[in-house]
Amino acid sequence: REWLLHHDKAPAHSALLIHDFCTKNSITVLPQPPYSPDLAPADFFLFPKLKYPLKGKRFHTIDEIQEKSLMELNSISEEAFSRCFQQWKQRWEKCIACHGEYF
């Protein structure tokens, strides 16, 4: 099974350890323009899906946070993920058409 990894160039993602792991495991890293959260599915789709249900809640343990987060992640339908990737494709097509300029 082939893996593709999409991330920005944040220091945590571009550390030598991560680079070596991706190389060793033949993981292709998809390029991401810097400062472009509109092109990152986690930023425009996933984080809001987690943020709103967790907003304003008080958690007493890390386990509670993990449990609630996992519950919210598991509630996202396959159709929603499919729409997310269709939107992602439309967003990068728009970016390409604008030659990388803001839109």
pLDDT tens sequence across 40-59: 888 889 999 999 999 999 99
C-alpha gyration radius of the chain:
16
**Can you give the residue range of the structural domain that contains 53?**
35-102
Clarify whether residues 54 and 22 are in a common domain.
no
What is this structure's pTM? 0.64
Q: What is the pLDDT of residue 5?
A: 80
Q: What is the pLDDT of residue 1?
A: 66
Clarify whether residues 39 and 28 are in a common domain.
no
Clarify whether residues 28 and 41 are in a common domain.
no
Whether the Cβ atoms of residue 7 and residue 54 lie closer than 8 Å to each other: no
Quote the number of domains for the chain: 2
Reply yes or no on whether the pLDDT at 8 is more than 80: no
Q: What is the CATH number of the domain that holds 57?
A: 3.30.420.10
